[in-house]
Structure formats: C-alpha cells, structure tokens
Structure 1
Amino acid sequence: MVQLVKRNKTIHVSLGLAAIILLAACSDAHSPSAPEQQSDHYTMLDYAKLAKIDAHVHANSSDRSFLEQAKLDNFTLLSINVDYPDFPSIAEQRKVALQLKQLDEEQFQFASTFSMDNWQHENWQETVIEDIDLAIKQGAKAVKVWKNIGMSHRDAKGDLVMIDHPSFAPIFEHMKNNNLPLVGHQGEPKNCWLPLEEMTVNNDRQYFAAHPEYHMYLHPEFPSYEDQMQARDTMLVKNPQLRFMGAHMASLEWSVDELAEFFERNPLAVADMAARSGQIQYQSVLDRYKVREFFIKYQDRILYATDLTHNPGRDPEAFKQEVRNKWHQDWKYLSTSEVLQVPEVDGVIKGLALPKSVINKIYRRNAQRFFDLTTH
C-alpha cells in the first residue's frame, strides 16, 4: 500500500512538464457530448451537500474519529479487511468493523477477507467458505484478495501462488453463487517494476527508494508485472459471472487506455480509485481531455475510493484533518475546473470538471449498485 506523503522530486517528461502544465491549466478542449458549463458540474460549495461513498478504506481502530469525519463530510465508508501483516489480525479487523457498523448501519459498511494459513490443508477451502458465509450473515458486502496471493505466499515447492491457482476455484464459485463481489488487489503499481528515475509519481519513487525490498525492478526473480496481470485476467476468464472490483484502478493505473481495454474484456468488472489518484492526475497533466473522456465513457465502472487507513494509536484530530484534506483534494480535481496542487505530482493540475451525472455515479451510485449498499 502506498502512503500519502509529501513528494519533492521533479518528474521528467519528454515534452517538458512546465509547458504541459501550462497547456493543461489553460486548455478549453471539452467533450462535444459533455461541455464544461458552470451549471453542469459541482463546485466546492456542493461538496458537503452530496451524499458520497468512499468504497475502499481501512478502519482498523474502534476509535470513532473516522466515522465522525465521514458524517461531517457526508460520506459512507466501505472498510475492507485485508490479509496484511502490518495490520491487526483478520479477526481483530472484523471485530472493529462489526463495532463500527453497529454504531451506524448505513454510514459504515465492510468487506471481509480470508487467510492463507493452512492453505494446503485438506479442509482449508471448507474453512474459508464457512467463514465467508459467517461474514455474509454479519453484513459483509464483498471479499478481498490481497497481493500476498501472487507476491508473497508460496506453496510447498516454494513457488508463488497466483490468483488463477485451481485451489481458489471452489471459493470463487461459492461467491458467485451468493452474488458476493470479489475485490482483487493483484500486483503493484507498474512503477514498482521500473527504475526510480522512470517512475511517474513522487509517492511511488519515494516509497520504493525507502523500501528496496519491495521494489520489483530490483528483484527479477519475482513474477513480472505482466505475469501478475495475466494471472488476474486468466482467473476472470475462468469466472466470467464473478462480480469483480479491481482495487487500485485494477493495477492499470498507469494508462486509462489499458484500463479501458480491461473494462471492454470484462463487462462485469469495475475498478476503484484507491491510492491511485496521483497516477490519474499525472496522465491528466499530459492529456486532460483523454482522462476526462475516459471518466465520462466509463462512468458506470469507476468507484471513488482513497485507501485511507485508520490504525490504532493515531491522533484523532490529526487523522481527521488528513481525511478531510484528501477528500477535499479529490473532489476539487474530479468535480471542478479549478487549478490544484497535489503531493504526488509536481506543478499544478486543472480539475476535470466532470458532469454532475458522472460525479453522482462515481461518488455514490456505482458503489450502491455494485455492493448492494443501502445508504443515506
């Protein structure tokens, strides 16, 4: 997971970033089908009025500050449990989710996950399915599969277990039969497989410089980015009726063209924006019109999400400010034509000013439909 931290290094692009930013900020090229008229898109004054959903967060603390800020900003939270060693245990994450859900049945929703412990035990699949059924009864809206499948968990021979492994087939079949969505985080940002100087956003460059053990460019012994994407796509071919959300722009954050092709190949799939707004904004600096057209064309397939994470021990007020800043920044970028600055990309960026009808879907209706949410 990529943290939201300050980035200070310069991004080098072939046309010269300064010139491109100036063009992006000044350009008035609009879609013929969705002209940018003031009455057609929201402003910052509309932010708190619209009921919104953040479809990918991690509420790992029973402290109420995340839920309190969500209420102030008119957000419903979908907290996703994950088999991540730096988080509390899966059982503790579920416990916290149920506590917060009990506080507000509409403002807080959660997705479950499953452990790879005892993976090769003969009863592993049965145990996982039983736990999924329990999670459904407790209110879970989906099941998450994390990148440990494909990037860290190994079989008895020492080979990495990929998402298209046949052992997952009964689990995915059970989920399909129960109309339960799968949230899939396969691979990492493509930048992870590039040298630092070729990475497109500051947060990736700084993170992998500080964590070379996770920088796949330095580890050719691991599967390639293409291998990870192929395994995910193969799994979807095997499960065409499985409702699937590709977390983090389906790990195709680097190219709206590639993500568009993914959508065309997988008509039931959607993608969330969690922790990948910087890569989207980088592309809109280069070609704002293309990115805006992508959001308009695939307005039914994109879910607003942040990956904001509330772990135990955080200062409540500092966390609330982080949450509010992130939500305001993204609203400004997606909903208005104002110029903004973000830590992930150097310089200034012009907002996409997406039509109100598109914003309504990305911020609420798509998540309501896909996760079968009843929200305010």
Structure 2
Amino acid sequence: MKLNNKLLAQMRAATRHLMDRQPVDTSKVIEDALNNASAMTQAAQERMRNLSPLHGGVAPGAHNTDMHDMLAELSRNLASGSGSGFSGGGFAANEPAPLLPGSFSDGSYTNAAGTRGYKLYVPSTYAGTPAPLLVMLHGCTQDPDDFAKGTQMNMLAEEMGCLVVYPAQSRQANASRCWNWFNDADQQRDRGEPSIIAGLTRQIMGEYAVDPAQVFVAGLSAGGAMATIMGTLYPELYAAVGVHSGLPFASAHDLPSAMAAMNGDFRRRQQPGRPIPIIVFHGDQDRTVHPANGDELIAPARDSAEAMAVEPGRVPNGHAYTRTTHKRADGRVHAEHWLIHGAGHAWSGGSAHGSYTDGRGPDASREMMRFFRTQK
C-alpha cells in the first residue's frame, strides 16, 4: 500500500535523524509522517465510500490496523536507536539465561471482551500460604517470555516468594502486540482490555493463595500506560502501580493523540478516586515516550503529598539518577519518581537476554518490589 510505503520511509528517516542525535529534526519528521498519513487515510476512506463491496471495497478498520503497525514500528526503531549497545544486568546476551527452580507455565483467560494468554511464575517456595502477586504488562513487540527475561522479575520473585503473571497481548487485538492504552473503550472499568486484565488477575487469585492486600501491577511503555489504567480503574484490586517509560491515565483517545502524548503533548483528564501509590522510572533521554510523561504520572500524588524529598545518586559504573519521594500525612511514601540521566527507552537495570533493557541501572525491578512491599 502507498500509505504503508510512504509512512515507513518517513519513519526510517526519523530513525536516521535520531541516530545522528538530531531530536528536533526527528520530531519534525514524525509530525510530517503523521500529517501525511492522516491526509492519505482520509483520501483513501473517501475512495472507499465510492466503492461497493462487489468492487473490492476495503474493510473500514484496515487503515487503522496499518496505522497501528506503523506506530509500533516507529516506537521499535526509535527505541533500538537510543538503546543500542546496552548491556544486561551482570551477564552478556550470549550467556545462557539462569534456570530458576520455580514453575513458569502457560494459561489463558476469557470473558466477553476476549481471550488473552499469560505465563505465570510460581516460586519454588510457594506452599499454599498467601503470597504477593505481581501483574507484569509487556511493551509493544514483546511477549511474556521476553519481558520476563529482560526484567529478571522471576528471579526476584523466587527470592521474595512472589507470584508473577505476564498477560500476553494478542496479534488479533493489536498487530504489534501493543496494549491499546489509547482507545477510549480500553480506558473504562469492566470494558475492553481492562476487564480482561482484571479478570485474569482475579482468576490467578482464585487458583492460588494470594494475599489480596499485596496485588500489584507494573508495565513498560504501552504496558506502563495500561498499568496506570488498571491501578486507576481498580484501586480495590491493585495496591500499587509501577510504570517504566509509560504514560498518564487516559492521555490519548486515538492514534494521532497517542503520538502527541508520546511526544509530551497529552490531554489532561481528571483521574478518578484518590491518587494511587505509584513508582515511576523514566530516562531523561527517552526519544520514544517523552520524560514529561513521568512528571505527569506522579502529579496527582505530588499534589496531595505532605512532604517531598529529592535524592540524587549514581550507580557504580552506571547511570546517575534523581529519586524524588512524596509522603502522605502519615509519613508513608506513596509515590516515587526515578529520573535516570542519560537513559533512553529501556527497562533500567534489565538483562540483555530481553529487549528494551539498559543494564547500567538503577535496578527498576528490585526497586519496584521494594516499593510494593511497603504499600501492603
């Protein structure tokens, strides 16, 4: 299709500009690509209205599917451009991944909104007594195995006696396996993907002994945006949220507004209920999801905080960072924001065995687990 070829060419141009460290030019290329794609899509839709099905008319959602693919490819290319050369957490990518004694098994969940598969890690120490449960939502183009390897969350789960479930986005729902965080229907309680993820969580809680006060949700990029949605819509189910390189609640309503939000120009929508306990990680050199999204994610908790503390630090032979904490009146930290200096669109402290990782730290997985354990 001409739409695909045109937009792909411009996306590749954006990637080349990024590799040359010209973010202003990159933004212009992205903007032009979206504008051209929008104009071409409108023209194509006009032509389709003049075609009858007998003459090969195209299904109404076909061009939206193409746009899903293009947006995901752009994110993938930009991330690989900013993250090339990253090393994993303590071992090289060509070394075998460590074997864990727990079980890592497949499952699925179905409700009226659809079916999603998942993988569940049960630590070897699980003995039928109530344990924490963490729901991990992968980013675009990823799957549960990739995300588990990159975040090394199963290793931590084995150490801390926690169950971890990794829901898998389907290619039928999104050709590039992105959670559809930018669709209105997927930003509402008991509808769309939120209903599936919540139902899947409850299914695990029904099959295993889970402490209902220690159920958490976290994610990367599109998965981080969906984790925010889950924590916002289901505060009685999830005790805290972890977001890495993600976006605020309902910050977009379609693909153009999704791209705008990723560039830091998001719509501000009132978040229902009280601020959720949240820990946020974001690289200040993220060219895929603008770091302003991290600031906005923390804003509800910041606005209701009684005290704030700023703590600079540096990982030995790794990234410097600024950690900002926000406390409630009872003195408990209910929000943390880690701004990682020099980091791009990648899971901080992750392993090179998975995609979108930066082994130069800090260790986002371990810090998330620490934060979650203080929220029970």
Q: Provide the TM-score with structure 1 as the length reference.
A: 0.33
The answer to which structure has the higher strand fraction is 2
TM-score (norm 2): 0.33
Query: Which protein is richer in helix relative to its size?
Result: 1
Higher relative contact order (CA 8 A, sep 6+): 1
